[in-house]
Chains A and B, each alone.
Chain A
Amino acid sequence: MEKSRRSFLKIISHILGGTLAAGILAPIIGLIIHPWLKETIYGTEDFIGIGNLDDFPVGIPKKMTVTSSKMDAWNIFEGLVMGSVWVIRQKDNSLKVFSTNCPHLGCGIDWGNDVNKFLCPCHEGVFDVNGKVISGPAPRDMYSYQTKVENNTVFVNYKNIT
């Protein structure tokens, strides 16, 4: 009698203890996996404003710094320099925006004003004004970004590189 009472108590204790542990662990796990459920660190903008359309001369590349803000959990960091881009305004007022990083090994590309070409100093990569490889070791044309113009302001989609 006493024995069966105790084995019954043991089973019940296991069940109750298990339920209690589950009830406590569920929200705990829910909180721990938070970074799976939600982005905790991200740029606040997809399209980043880089200047007025009028600031860009037609046909001549202009180098612009891209600054944006970043959310890091509770903090916002504003005015962070993300990098820089080459901007070329076309005759029809559309824009071409290239990364300043060389598609070969990532050196910074310069604009050669005298030769009217993009020049990479590292391994003598040469690109034309449309970013096409002319000579040198680069495996592809210069990286470019999508752009849009709103209210005369030029925006670059800095997250999407093509």
Chain B
Amino acid sequence: MANKFYEWIDNRTGLNTFLKIALDEPVHGGARWAYVFGSGLIFLFILQAITGIVMACFYSPSSTTAWGSVYYIQEQTSFGWFIRGLHHFGSSAMIILAIVHFFQVFIYGAYKKPRELNWITGVFLLIFLMGFGLTGYLLPWDQKGYWATQVATNIIGTIPVIGDYVKVLHQGGSDYGNFTLTRFFTLHVFILPLSLVTFLFIHVALFRKHGVTPHWKISEKLLKERVDPFWPDQVFKDIVFAMIIYAILAGWVFWKGGAELQAPADPASNYLARPEWYFLFLFQLLKYCQGNLLIVGTVIIPMIGLIFLFVLPFIDRTSSNSPVRRIPFFATISTGMIGAIALTVLAIHHDAHDVHIIHQREDAEIQAARAVILAKKGIHPEGGMSIFLNDPVYLGEKIFKENCNGCHKLNGVGGENGPDFTNFGSREWLFGLLKNPKDKKYFGDSGIMSPVKLPEESLWDISEFLLSQSGNLLNTNIDSLERGKELTLKGTCAICHPIGDINAKKVAPNLTDYLSETWLKDFIKNPDDQKFYGTKNKMPGYEGKFNANELDSLVKYLLSLSKDRLLVSECIRQEPVKNTNNVSPLTPNIYFGILTEKYLLASK
């Protein structure tokens, strides 16, 4: 039955003959492991195509939906993170393999007459491959992709005369928006694949026409004698190689936990963009080509490299394939490669030691984790960024940076007129204050309070008690708290600081409900109130300058700075979704503070 059907098909299509031609191709000189790289690339391309098509079932290319749909693939589906991981790291694998293939072909001299067009189509394929990487990077519309791609489109803009036009055409307008995504998407899933398949077809057809280029040491005689059929001799090796690639790739995806998805693109942020690793050398090159020289890095050097690759088969006319006879060409290619590697290493090395970038990466990770939590409640139609609009911590941070950071230092950044807010409101912070209020980190010279002259143990106890009043201290130690209470109420503190009656006034700030949300709000509004600093105050009051929501957000943000506190905030604590059928097991109440720590630890 099956045979009959096969015969019927064969009679009408010539399938059998076609398969014979395809599979019985003689491999002169015998099947070899050295020939697996090309087919490995084809395997990876098919893998990219399949994973890409499945993701396209979920993806939605517009500036308001792109991030949300990728978030959905990543977090809400069962295998989405894995498929996306395969696709993401698969592109890197393709680049690596393409470089290996390139060198194998180069070393074997496989670009020489009559195979010039094999080589040239190959160079085109390499360009398309990089085009895939470039266009795909933007599609999630996250911070990383958005800002890195900005660099790329600006580079296009530096091409003389036509640059700006080409840039506008790519962006679909003068700035990034919906059309940027639809265009990049079209390039990524229609134009580039079609181009690549076309050139791949020619590349493979030409390869079939001319056959493999054997090792230069294999004698003519052996070439004639040893002929293996493509199937199964070479195919077997190709399959084994494909399995190895897939195993490594899948393992890598598991180890990395899938591809990264950063927070939604925020056009107002000043994110330091870094491209994918295989573009880093170009990126680093730009650092050395500043001002008028920019065009050297963006256009001239890459162009020279490309032109060299295109004309290589025509300038290398040596008759032998032996590398010894082709030293000048080896030298040129090696110099280019070593240069690219050196630039890449320099770029990585620089970023690994730049405090600013390290901080930013940590921030980006926290932001990404927060984005995922907030997005679980659904993303408003305004787009990915809208998840932050109602997030007090995000708004609070913004307000802090705009209004407070000038005087209050935070994590090493900011002014020194007021107390340092690093780890603000933690036991450690308060302990330090009690120990030496005149420290630069606290009140400095303007401080009036004198250091509390008690053993360190007691200072911790007092901190424990004072902070416990705010109600959101983590892991309160009752014994310590009781001792601290005793010390505070009966000791010298209460001489200057009223405590117990919220409205009582003495020379120093009222410590009733110290650092609670209400206390902080009252304080920020009127620090010169008699129950706080009174006439000794130096901080401007913010009564009337913030609306209730802003003040609330700021206070929540301040409380989130400390590792010792639980951030109890409606927005961040997940409200359980009412429709129980749809609750993912990952949705339980997650507190941002805890999650942050988890992510920071994981990133170290």
Interface on A for B, CB 8 Å cutoff? 6, 9-10, 12-13, 16-17, 19-20, 23-24, 27-28, 30-32, 34, 37-39, 42-46, 69, 71, 73-78
Contacts and interface: CB of A to CB of B under 8 A. Distances in A.
16 contacts: A10-B231, A16-B236, A23-B250, A27-B79, A27-B83, A27-B86, A28-B54, A31-B54, A32-B54, A34-B77, A34-B80, A38-B582, A71-B378, A73-B58, A73-B72, A76-B377
Given A13-B232, A23-B246, 4 more contacts: A28-B50, A34-B58, A34-B77, A74-B379
- List of 9 A-B pairs having minimum Cβ-Cβ separation, nearest first: A76-B378, A74-B68, A30-B79, A9-B232, A27-B79, A74-B72, A31-B79, A10-B232, A34-B77
Contact of B579 (A9, A20, A44, A74): A44
A28 B90 CA distance: 15
A77 B233 contact: no
Contacts of A19: 243
Contacts of A75: 65, 68, 378-381
A13 B239 contact: yes
A39 B233 CA distance: 48
B236 A31 contact: no
Contacts of B239: 13, 16-17, 20
Contact of B78 (A10, A30, A74, A77): A30
A28 B83 contact: yes
A23 B378 CA distance: 33
Given A9-B233, A76-B377, A24 B582 contact: no
Contacts of A17: 239
A39 B379 CA distance: 16
B209 interface: no
The majority secondary structure among interface residues of chain B is helix
Contacts of B378: 44, 69, 71, 74-76
Contact of A34 (B71, B78, B86): B78
A38 B250 CA distance: 25
Nearest to A30: B79
A44 B582 CA distance: 9
Contact of B375 (A13, A24, A74): A74
B108 to A, nearest CB: 25
A73 B539 CA distance: 48
Contacts of B229: 6
Contacts of A13: 231-232, 235-236, 239
A13 B233 CA distance: 9
B57 A16 contact: no
A44 B55 CA distance: 26
Contacts of B65: 74-75
B232 A31 contact: no
B184 interface: no
Contacts of A16: 236, 239-240, 243
Interface in B29-76: 47, 50-51, 54-55, 57-58, 65, 68-69, 71-73, 76
B17 interface: no
Given A17-B239, A38-B582, A71-B378, A6 B50 contact: no
Given A16-B240, A76-B379, A71 B80 contact: no
A6 B231 CA distance: 9
A27 B378 CA distance: 25
Nearest to B75: A74
B581 interface: yes
Contacts of B375: 74
A162 B73 CA distance: 37
Interface residues of B, number: 44
Contacts of A24: 47, 50, 246
B104 to A, nearest CB: 22
Contact of B578 (A28, A31, A45, A78): A45
Contacts of B381: 75, 77
A74 B377 contact: no
A20 to B, nearest CB: 5
B263 interface: no
Contact of A37 (B57, B78, B233): B78
Given A9-B233, A13-B235, A31 B83 contact: yes
B242 interface: yes
B72 A32 contact: no
B228 to A, nearest CB: 9
A43 B78 CA distance: 22
Contacts of B50: 24, 28
Nearest to A12: B236
Contacts of B581: 39, 42
B577 A44 contact: yes
B579 A43 contact: yes
Contacts of B77: 31, 34, 38
Contact of B69 (A10, A12, A37, A73): A73
Interface in B552-604: 577-579, 581-582
Contacts of A69: 378
A96 B78 CA distance: 43
Contacts of B281: none
A28 B78 CA distance: 10
Contact of A39 (B68, B236, B377, B582): B582
Contacts of A44: 378, 577-579
B296 to A, nearest CB: 44
B236 A9 contact: yes
Contacts of B82: 27
A16 B379 CA distance: 44
Contacts of B578: 44-46
A41 B234 CA distance: 49
Nearest to B229: A6
A75 B58 CA distance: 13
A123 to B, nearest CB: 37
Chain B CB count within 10 A is highest, among A12, A27, A38, for: A27
Contacts of B79: 27-28, 30-31
B71 to A, nearest CB: 6
A71 B72 CA distance: 12
A12 B65 CA distance: 46
Contacts of B83: 27-28, 31
Contacts of A28: 50-51, 54, 79, 83
Nearest to A34: B77
Contacts of B80: 31, 34
Contacts of B73: 31
Nearest to A8: B232
A157 to B, nearest CB: 12
